[in-house]
Structure 1
Amino acid sequence: MSRENVLSLLLERPTEYLSGEAMSRALGISRAGVWKAIEALRQEGYEISSAPNRGYRLESAPDRVREGELAGPLAGCLVGGSLACLDTIDSTNTECKRRAMAGTPEGLVVIAEEQTGGRGRLGRSFQSPRGCGLYLSALLRPRLEPAAVTDFTAWVAVAVCDGIEAACGVRPRIKWTNDIVLNGKKLCGILTELGLESESNALEYLVPGIGINVNHRPEDFSEDVRPMATSLAQELGRPVRRSLLAAEVIKALDRMYAVFPQGKQEYLDKYRADCLTPGNQVQLITPASRQEARALAIDDDFRLVVELADGTRKALSAGEVSVRGMYGYV
């Protein structure tokens, strides 16, 4: 952990030299401990210069998402106040749920460089190649009835758009209910899972999981996914620093959670502005059928209002909707 603390100090003052003595006092470790942390960071690809009687300065850093890079930007946040930055995990959602059942307090964010069993909606897999994307989940424990969090994923979608816009200067759109889309291709998936107390049916925890395609090249996607997926780097024409994106997304989640559910109108208005589904011809997909409809609007409960071919209208709260012209539906 000392290397994460040393890294955090170096990042707080990126243009200054910090003496080993000053870092030793600030962190409560020996100067030899500071030197060992510096050498360990250098071994991991961090370029740290040193000058006699001046100390150390961070010159450049590899694209890694780790505690030392996030601790400063997330200071004072509930969501992200505790971090677990892992190399490889089956699923950040699954790890969050394991820690929830072990009694971990809310606010933990689990981030992984790679997921071996990333999951999407309806049991689909989510491709999570090493070092390409941002894969994170948050452990939350809202004191609410389960029925009060049915629209939570929509709030998360708005927060993700906020975070991407803050980090990259471009605001993606939302395909109802929880696909984040940029220039007509899928950029990010969101999967929210919850746990209930078996006897009382009370809400024990809520885990939103977010997978963003950040620096993927086309060849990083499998052939079946490639035509419908994109990444921030592909759309922006430049790489994106994942630690910066992680900090902005987590801060946006923290702001959102602080006003959930009282701030509904703000997030409903933003969701309606971001959602590209209304106004399009869609297919309503169930395991047994596909039904043509016209998407009309997002109602006050984040449901999608559609009109069927016979003129009947209904509001959808769940299920799968395919938009004409996207993801192979033409």
Structure 2
Amino acid sequence: MILKERYCLEKRAGVCYTERVAVRLSVFICQRGEKVLKKSGNIRPLSGCKICGALEERGVRISLFEDIDSTNLEARRQAERGMSAPALIIADSQSAGRGRLGRSFYSPSGTGLYMSLLLGAKDNPADNVQLTAAAAVAAARSIEELCGVRPKIKWVNDLYLGEKKICGILCESFSCADGKRSVVIGIGVNLLTEDFPDELRDIAASVMVKGVCKEALAADISGRMLDYYDSPTEHGIMEYYRANSAVIGKRVVFSEGEKSCYGVAESIDEVGRLTIKLDDNSLKILSSGEISLKIDK
């Protein structure tokens, strides 16, 4: 059975069920052999939903929201309340969606997928760094599989179609009050967003493939991320990342403080660090999270 069939929701009246209906928080506790639905607040019916699919064997807790401030913030709140990983949070819209370097992420209702996956932090810090690259590869492969388009990865982890961004990813690590360390991977995909704010109109775009189940895409991305988390060296993550890089071989500019630096992106290593040959022929190795990089046109 192909991934589209395995993760897609049951059809309703011959089409995938994507209608927007009034919702409450719905939490699925998916365990081997059982599914329990807990409800609180205002609810979106999920009867017949097969979002758990292959995730149920892994004990994934799934929370769906109509509106939320930020799925990453909700993942943190759930961790603080003792929710065990892995947990998946999906929202139809975000009022305070977050991007890298303190930026906001535009998250209008009904047109995008906004999700966060809560995982336990790895003991080896290098493994946690590689999760950023793994998240980009998981999202890119899922979009290609379910939407039929192949995005490019702009270092660190934005996905582009042509010269415009269709997906942003924010990976954060944190410790709860009890000392337990966690990682949350936030992913926002513009699926059918057309009306962007003025400041985003020239740099953002959407996948624009109709009939895609948001829940199916979220489940597919999550399934891949769990595979990568369990076996980070067995899925060709960095090979795919490099093969689909939007920056390798390109002239780039990045900022360090108030200084702009120019050069050519040469390579990406096994933990996602980017090597740039600067205009003075020196090499600069950049790590995720420390700079903002733009392709120099």
Displacement after TM superposition at 1:67 (Å)? 4.9
State the match for 2:56 in structure 1: 76
SS at match of 1:76: helix
Amino acid across the alignment from 1:271: Y
Amino acid across the alignment from 2:193: H
State the match for 2:219 in structure 1: 247
Displacement after TM superposition at 1:300 (Å)? 2.8
Query: Please, which runs of 5 or more residues in structure 2 have no aligned partner?
Result: 1-8, 21-43
Compute the TM-score of the two structures, normalised by the length of structure 2. Answer: 0.81
Query: Please, which runs of 5 or more residues in structure 1 have no aligned partner?
Result: 1-10, 15-45, 48-57, 325-329
Over residues 134-163 of structure 1, what are the superposed CA-to-partner deviations in whole Å (9 max), with x where a residue is unaligned?
Answer: 000011014414443122111110011111
Q: 1:224 aligns with which of 181, 192, 199?
A: 199
Q: Is the 8 A contact 1:279 1:294 kept in 2?
A: yes
Compute the TM-score of the two structures, normalised by the length of structure 1. Answer: 0.73
Q: How many residues align?
A: 263
Q: Greater Rg, structure 1 or structure 2? A: 1
SS at match of 1:279: coil
Q: Structure 1 CA distance, aligned partners of 2:207 and 2:187? A: 15
State the match for 1:116 in structure 2: 95
Matched, 1:302 2:277: no
Structure 1 residues 93 and 67: CA distance shift in structure 2, 3 A = farther
Over residues 244-266 of structure 1, what are the superposed CA-to-partner deviations in whole Å (9 max), with x where a residue is unaligned?
Answer: 32232222222222213x43x72
Structure 1 residues 108 and 228: CA distance shift in structure 2, 3 A = same
State the match for 2:25 in structure 1: none
Displacement after TM superposition at 1:297 (Å)? 1.0
Q: Is the 8 A contact 1:159 1:253 kept in 2?
A: yes
Amino acid across the alignment from 2:222: I
State the match for 1:215 in structure 2: 192
SS at match of 1:174: strand
Displacement after TM superposition at 1:66 (Å)? 7.2
Q: 1:166 aligns with which of 137, 140, 145?
A: 145
Q: Structure 2 CA distance, aligned partners of 1:186 and 1:252? A: 22
Structure 1 residues 259 and 63: CA distance shift in structure 2, 3 A = farther
Q: 2:171 aligns with which of 186, 192, 202?
A: 192
Structure 1 residues 61 and 155: CA distance shift in structure 2, 3 A = closer
Q: Is the 8 A contact 2:70 2:98 kept in 1?
A: yes
SS at match of 2:264: strand
Amino acid across the alignment from 2:98: R
Matched, 1:61 2:38: no
Pairing of 1:267-282 with structure 2 (within 5 A): 267-282=237-252
Displacement after TM superposition at 1:77 (Å)? 4.7
Amino acid across the alignment from 2:242: R
Higher share of residues assigned helix: 1
Displacement after TM superposition at 1:72 (Å)? 4.7
Q: Structure 2 CA distance, aligned partners of 1:304 and 1:143? A: 22
Q: Structure 1 CA distance, aligned partners of 2:149 and 2:77? A: 35
Compare relative contact order (CA 8 Å, sep 6+) and give the higher one, 1 or 2. 2
Matched, 1:177 2:152: no
Structure 1 residues 59 and 270: CA distance shift in structure 2, 3 A = closer
Structure 1 residues 170 and 66: CA distance shift in structure 2, 3 A = farther
Displacement after TM superposition at 1:198 (Å)? 7.4
Q: Structure 2 CA distance, aligned partners of 1:267 and 1:176? A: 14
Higher share of residues assigned strand: 2
Question: Sequence identity of aligned pairs in percent?
Answer: 34
Deviating more after overlay: 169-178 vs 91-100: 169-178
